[in-house]
Amino acid sequence: MIRPENAAEVRQLELFATGSETTFLSFTETGFVQRFPRGMVLFRENEPADFLHVVLGGTVELFAGSDKRETTLDIVRPVGVFILAAVLNDEVYLQSARTLEPSDILMIPAEKVRAAMDTDPGFARAIVMELARSYRRTIKDLKGMKLRTGAERLANWLLRADKEQGGTGEIDIRIEKRTLASRLGMTPENLSRAFSTLRPHGIEIDGSRVEIVRPDALIAFAAPDPLVDDPEVSPPAGRPGR
């Protein structure tokens, strides 16, 4: 059962905004919100995808790999959905998930999602858009991994983080550096060195705070590319005229 204040919030989410009331009700009736402590593993890769997850509060890390080698694939913050693809395909998870801080997670039974997709065209459309967006984000990640060095990925991550935090040039790394390193596809040691590499290119580091003191220098180093770095945005409400 999901509480009213949460329901409104979730309904705002693009994925749920265009579906029918019936669809949404089937979710609120069977879905439930659960609060998890920090460091809790929500599920592991290779388990059957039984629930669609929505982050209402906190932070969730999606990761994969064995104990030997592990990598972070994504960081999900409110309000964000994750592992939609596995749920739709009725497949196992490709990624594991753990909370990085105490988090409120809405869990919707996978069969309800699949059923809604078949009965509610508006919801089906929203799913398509959400899927396509996530897919494109992942392709961008893959391009970044294959085309750039670690320091370049970090530089572009910083530029993006700055934008997301208001473009003040004052960035707060909101996750542990080890996690950031894993997200960027490198070791913690290497991230540390990447930061050092960037120092001559217009940044100053103080613990978990980074200041971009010469934006042009950082941009010159990062060479940001919209086709790699721009976040996938929600499609415009109407059909855009090109």
Partner DNA sequence: CGTTTATTTGAAAACGCTCAAGCTCTGTGG
Partner DNA sequence: CCACAGAGCTTGAGCGTTTTCAAATAAACG
Interface residues with DNA (CB under 7 A) are 69, 149-151, 176-178, 185-196, 205, 207-208
Stretch that binds a copy of itself, among 10-18, 40-48, 164-172, 191-199 (CB under 8 A): 40-48
Yes or no: say if 2 and 54 are a contact pair by the CB < 8 Å rule.
no
Q: Which does 239 bind (CB under 5 to 8 A by kind): a copy of itself, DNA, none?
A: a copy of itself
Q: Which does 151 bind (CB under 5 to 8 A by kind): a copy of itself, DNA, none?
A: DNA
Q: Which C-beta is closer to DNA: that of 177 or that of 214?
A: 177
Q: Which does 220 bind (CB under 5 to 8 A by kind): DNA, a copy of itself, none?
A: none
Round to whole Å and give the CA distance between 35 and 57.
Answer: 9
Give SS3 for 145: helix
Yes or no: say if 173 and 164 are a contact pair by the CB < 8 Å rule.
no
* Per-position b or e across 201-212, b if 16+ CB within 10 A of its CB: bbbeeeeeebeb
**Owner of token pair 């039974």:** 109
Stretch that binds a copy of itself, among 11-19, 158-166, 201-209, 233-241 (CB under 8 A): 233-241
Q: Which of residues 122-181 bind a copy of itself (CB under 8 A)?
A: 124-125, 127-129, 131-136, 138-143, 145-147
Provide the 8-state DSSP code for 241. P
Q: Which C-beta is closer to DNA: that of 25 or that of 142?
A: 142
Round to whole Å and give the CA distance between 213 and 216.
Answer: 9
For the chain, helix (H) and strand (E) counts, in that order, are: 11, 11
Yes or no: say if 102 and 38 are a contact pair by the CB < 8 Å rule.
yes
| Bridge partners (DSSP) listed for residue 96 | 63
Q: How far is the CB of 81 from a copy of itself (least distance, A)?
A: 13
Q: List the one residue from 13, 40, 85, 173 that touches a copy of itself (CB under 8 A).
A: 85
Round to whole Å and give the CA distance between 225 and 236.
Answer: 21
Stretch that binds a copy of itself, among 8-16, 19-27, 29-37, 66-74 (CB under 8 A): 66-74
Q: Which C-beta is closer to DNA: that of 28 or that of 197?
A: 197
Phi, psi of 158 (to 5 degrees): -65, -45
Length of the chain in residues, anyone? 242
Yes or no: say if 218 and 154 are a contact pair by the CB < 8 Å rule.
no
Q: Which C-beta is closer to DNA: that of 117 or that of 151?
A: 151
Q: Which does 142 bind (CB under 5 to 8 A by kind): DNA, a copy of itself, none?
A: a copy of itself
Provide the 8-state DSSP code for 197. H
Does position 41 bind a copy of itself by CB under 8 A?
no
Q: Which residues in this chain contact a copy of itself in the complex, by CB under 8 A?
A: 45-46, 48, 64-65, 69-71, 73, 84-86, 88-92, 94-95, 117-118, 121, 124-125, 127-129, 131-136, 138-143, 145-147, 185, 226-227, 232, 235, 239-240, 242
